[in-house]
Structure 1
Amino acid sequence: MILPIVAYGDPVLRKESEAIGKDYEGLDTLISNMWETMYNANGVGLAAPQIGLAIRLFLVDTSPFADDEELTEGERKQLDGFKKVFINAHMLEETGTSWAFNEGCLSIPDIREDITRKDTITLRYMDEAFNEYKETFDGLLARVIQHEYDHIQGVLFTDKVSSLKKRLLKGKLANISKGKIEVDYKMRFPLLKKGR
């Protein structure tokens, strides 16, 4: 089932998410619905807060990036077929070189900005069967994971832009909250006036 994606301005996007256990009701169905929702919106990642749930769950499928001609063969190979569920993730380390990359977000449509992040991360997380992992990721893979991880921490990519850029984006962000935007996937807008 395709779920509505929560738009910028909804308080759930600002909450630090709670850990969940194996007994979380309907988890398999939720994960399946999240995959369907993400693919319907042409995303490469989706976090539970983006569908209105403040729980430590996100998923990533970087396969669409594998077609990028500008990437090296090794980078394309790393991204192709990388499809993973992350439950109760905790960032252990962010290291390496800082680099900028143009990011967007399904909760903040039509806004893209260059965001600087470290190129290597180490994460502790569980998969959908609650097997625990400690894993290091780098490059574009690390970036996608960092973006989704930020969601479960209550952080948005627009928080990482300069104060000048934030002022320039203020009107656009307000319009997104009010639903004054065209999107081709289901969304829930926190400030949408009913009956318009």
Structure 2
Amino acid sequence: MVLELLKYPDERIRLISGNVRFFDDSLQNIITDMVDTMKANGLEALSAIQIGIQYAVVVIKEADAYKPYINLRIITTSGETVETERTPYYENISVDVPRHDKIKIFYENEKGEAQYADLEGAFSRVIQHQLDYNYGSTFVDRVDKETRKRINEYLPKGLVVSSNSSCPTVFYRDYIKRAYKYVMLAVWFSFLPPFFIDDSAVMAKLFLFDKIALGTVPFLIVGYAVYAYYESEKYKQCTSCQTGNIIGTSGFALAQWMVLGVIAFFWMGI
């Protein structure tokens, strides 16, 4: 059955979608209605909330098939790209939106079976765009303040806002993540001088630097995790604030630190 798409200024677009706990005919009916609506409107992707259904279901057209992504979550992210996006909700509006270039996702299929996928490029962007809707957000929450102001002035009733805080364009936790990445990068570079310098005094200073740097990294990672969790509670509608994403990023960073520590122990003699 073809259902009506939510259009501006319908405030239901800001509702946060609940997780699907039933994998039966009623779920299949929702998916069927979503596919019918996509075909009728020529859409390549659709989130259930865009037709007023408050469940975490996303359907993506892949070639000639329509694939559902249920209870979709982003686990890890990397890279950034900026491209123009549109939405049937805000008609006649298109803006440049920053997104992660590569993501790892978790989702469930129609049978409730856990699935994982590594995505990049255009398809990664489509997934992120649709996932925003599940958290009561749209692409206008991801643009800078000046762009949001122009869109707000253009719309006859202004932007439709959430009862929660909108997604900020900058998360302070990213500064902490950048700090521990730079520290670990500096340790990697410290492995190079022994190939070119034969000075025990210089080597001793490098060894001391590596000890201090490697001892600092886990505190920075823990600080990132704690502050990221705080931001996830503050900005619950943002896809990048998911707890799974925070845990995945922190775990990956700790694994990198451990590998670096082992290499430093054997190579530098720490």
TM-score, length-scaled by structure 1: 0.74
1 or 2, which has the higher helix percentage? 2
User: Which residue is equivalent to 1:161?
Assistant: 143
Contact 1:12–1:53 (CA<8 Å) still a contact in 2?
Answer: no
Residues in 1 aligned to 2:110 and 2:104: alpha-carbon distance in whole angstroms: 19
User: Which residue is equivalent to 2:11?
Assistant: 11
Contact 1:91–1:122 (CA<8 Å) still a contact in 2?
Answer: yes
User: Which residue is equivalent to 1:85?
Assistant: 68
Contact 1:59–1:85 (CA<8 Å) still a contact in 2?
Answer: yes
Residues in 1 aligned to 2:2 and 2:158: alpha-carbon distance in whole angstroms: 20
**Structure 2: 5+ residue runs without aligned partners?**
160-270
The yes-or-no answer on 1:147 pairing with 2:111 is no
Residues in 2 aligned to 1:51 and 1:106: alpha-carbon distance in whole angstroms: 11
Name the SS of the counterpart of 1:101 in structure 2.
strand
Show the 5 A alignment for 1:36-75. Answer: 36-62=36-62
User: Which residue is equivalent to 2:29?
Assistant: 29
TM-score, length-scaled by structure 2: 0.55
Residues in 2 aligned to 1:114 and 1:108: alpha-carbon distance in whole angstroms: 14
Q: CA deviation at 1:152?
A: 0.4
Q: Which amino acid aligns with 2:40?
A: N
The yes-or-no answer on 1:124 pairing with 2:125 is no
Contact 2:56–2:71 (CA<8 Å) still a contact in 1?
Answer: yes
Contact 1:48–1:58 (CA<8 Å) still a contact in 2?
Answer: yes
Name the SS of the counterpart of 2:150 in structure 1.
helix
Contact 2:152–2:158 (CA<8 Å) still a contact in 1?
Answer: no
String of CA shifts for 1:104-145, please: whole Å, max 9, x gaps. 112111111111111111111011222210111111010001
Contact 1:125–1:134 (CA<8 Å) still a contact in 2?
Answer: yes
**Structure 1: 5+ residue runs without aligned partners?**
63-79, 178-196
| Identity over aligned pairs, percent | 25
Q: Which amino acid aligns with 1:7?
A: K
Name the SS of the counterpart of 1:109 in structure 2.
coil
Q: CA deviation at 1:11?
A: 3.1
Name the count of aligned residue pairs: 160
Q: Which amino acid aligns with 1:14?
A: R
Residues in 2 aligned to 1:173 and 1:37: alpha-carbon distance in whole angstroms: 26
String of CA shifts for 1:158-184, please: whole Å, max 9, x gaps. 11112111111114433698xxxxxxx
Contact 1:8–1:173 (CA<8 Å) still a contact in 2?
Answer: no
Q: Which amino acid aligns with 1:35?
A: V
Name the SS of the counterpart of 1:137 in structure 2.
strand
Residues in 1 aligned to 2:24 and 2:9: alpha-carbon distance in whole angstroms: 27
Q: Which amino acid aligns with 1:45?
A: A
Residues in 2 aligned to 1:150 and 1:112: alpha-carbon distance in whole angstroms: 16
User: Which residue is equivalent to 2:118?
Assistant: 136
Contact 1:102–1:113 (CA<8 Å) still a contact in 2?
Answer: yes
Residues in 2 aligned to 1:176 and 1:111: alpha-carbon distance in whole angstroms: 13
1 or 2, which has the higher strand percentage? 1
Residues in 2 aligned to 1:9 and 1:26: alpha-carbon distance in whole angstroms: 29
User: Which residue is equivalent to 2:239?
Assistant: none
Higher Cα radius of gyration? 2
Residues in 2 aligned to 1:55 and 1:85: alpha-carbon distance in whole angstroms: 12
Q: Which amino acid aligns with 2:120?
A: D
Residues in 2 aligned to 1:146 and 1:113: alpha-carbon distance in whole angstroms: 15
Q: CA deviation at 1:58?
A: 0.8
Contact 1:3–1:33 (CA<8 Å) still a contact in 2?
Answer: yes
- Measured on the aligned residues, the alpha-carbon RMSD in Å equals 2.2
Residues in 1 aligned to 2:36 and 2:104: alpha-carbon distance in whole angstroms: 28
> Which of 34, 55, 77 is 1:94 aligned to?
77
Contact 1:46–1:58 (CA<8 Å) still a contact in 2?
Answer: yes
